[in-house]
Amino acid sequence: MAKAFASAADLDEKKITFDRLADGVYAFTAEGDPNTGVIVGDHGVMVIDARATPVLAKELIGYIAKVTDKPVTHVMLTHYHAVRVLGASGYGAGTIMASRDTYDLIVERGQQDKDSEIGRFPRLFQAVDSIPPGLTWPTTVIDGVLEMKFGGRWLKIFQVGRGHTKGDTIVWLPDDGILFAGDLVEEGATPYCGDAYLTDWPATLDNLTALSPQQMMPGRGEAMKTPADSRRAIEGTRAFVSDLMDSVRAGVAAGKPLGEVYIDTYRKMHPKYGHWVIFEHCLPFNVSRAFDEASGLRDPRIWTAERDQEMWHSLQDALKELSGD
């Protein structure tokens, strides 16, 4: 039987958790759906990653209201993917922050990414009509490092290297040892690598490890409450990225076409990672990007809704030929 496209078959509602990491610091998670961080300040609240739609933003506001009556005044975008940013309008925040690289990616490919991701995640975009026309644009663009005091604590917002995208930005609370890593790190969920810099990613993870986080919120998966758990999540992401690139590099070096490389990589990675959330969704996109990078294409090609479908069906056909269906 052919696999449903991307996450089209993932229609089950997820159990939400709203964990307190420190006084005024919370992690909103939902069984492998995209995570969101919350920091309560003196006069308002910062949300780290906006969720996919304004309707989902309103859901988060309901959880925030259980711990504070302060409004959301700041939204920090760790990267440009639509599933993370298109809910921004639902908060009414006056400040939306992102890195310069993220801003440039929105300019270059924001509309294509919006159209692509809405097709990939029908459950997360069920309230797609609540998204205003156009794209979500930062009101504050961060060049380099931004250090700011929020709620009596210092935040350091900066890039530590390329990985999931070229614009990946972390939020680091040095006095608390809490790291909001965005999709540079996943826990029990498959890293999406379709727009990645796979050769750079391990060194970027080294830079996260060097911070020695005491707690960490990954892009997907449960919040990490100890230093050991934080290291485990970083190392798990590193293992996945390295295994992916090693397999694809070997196939490219052997002169194999994309379909064969995908089959080989699926066989190698499924036993170890097949139980991770969105594995079946991500792997075709991941192998496609790794194939391009191993073939010398430094920067990711733009995904469109049309390219998504073409790639997906091509690689599923390769699997069907292998199985004899």
Q: What is the pLDDT of residue 324?
A: 56
Residue 177 reports pLDDT greater than 60: yes
Mean pLDDT of 101-106: 98
Q: What is the pLDDT of residue 294?
A: 98
Mean pLDDT of 194-206: 98
- Burial bucket for residue 138 (CB in 10 Å: 0-12, 13-18, 19+): buried
Confidence of residue 317 (pLDDT cuts 50, 70, 90): confident
Mean pLDDT of 306-310: 96
Q: What is the pLDDT of residue 8?
A: 86
Q: What is the pLDDT of residue 318?
A: 83
E strands within the chain? 17-22, 25-30, 33-40, 45-48, 72-76, 95-99, 140-142, 146-150, 153-158, 170-173, 178-186, 215-220
Report d(CA 81, CA 195) in Å as an integer: 10
Average pLDDT, the chain: 96
Confidence of residue 323 (pLDDT cuts 50, 70, 90): low
Kindly report, residue by residue over 123-169, the tens digit of the pLDDT. Answer: 999 899 999 999 999 999 999 999 999 989 999 999 999 999 999 99
Confidence of residue 320 (pLDDT cuts 50, 70, 90): confident
Mean pLDDT of 210-219: 98
% helix, strand, coil for the chain, step of 5? 40, 20, 40
Kindly report, residue by residue over 106-119, the tens digit of the pLDDT. Answer: 999 999 999 999 99
Mean pLDDT of 178-204: 98
More confident residue, 205 or 318: 205
Mean pLDDT of 24-33: 96
Mean pLDDT of 213-229: 98
More confident residue, 7 or 68: 68
More confident residue, 318 or 179: 179
Do residues 132 and 91 lie in contact, with contact meaning Cβ atoms separated by under 8 Å?
no
Do residues 196 and 157 lie in contact, with contact meaning Cβ atoms separated by under 8 Å?
no
Residue 263 reports pLDDT greater than 60: yes
Confidence of residue 2 (pLDDT cuts 50, 70, 90): low
Confidence of residue 292 (pLDDT cuts 50, 70, 90): very high
Among residues of the chain, what percentage have pLDDT more than 90?
93
CB-CB neighbours of 214 under 10 Å: 18
Do residues 127 and 56 lie in contact, with contact meaning Cβ atoms separated by under 8 Å?
yes
For the chain, domains (ranges, CATH) are 17-323 (3.60.15.10)
Residue 208 reports pLDDT greater than 90: yes
What letter would DSSP give residue 190?
A: P
Mean pLDDT of 69-73: 98
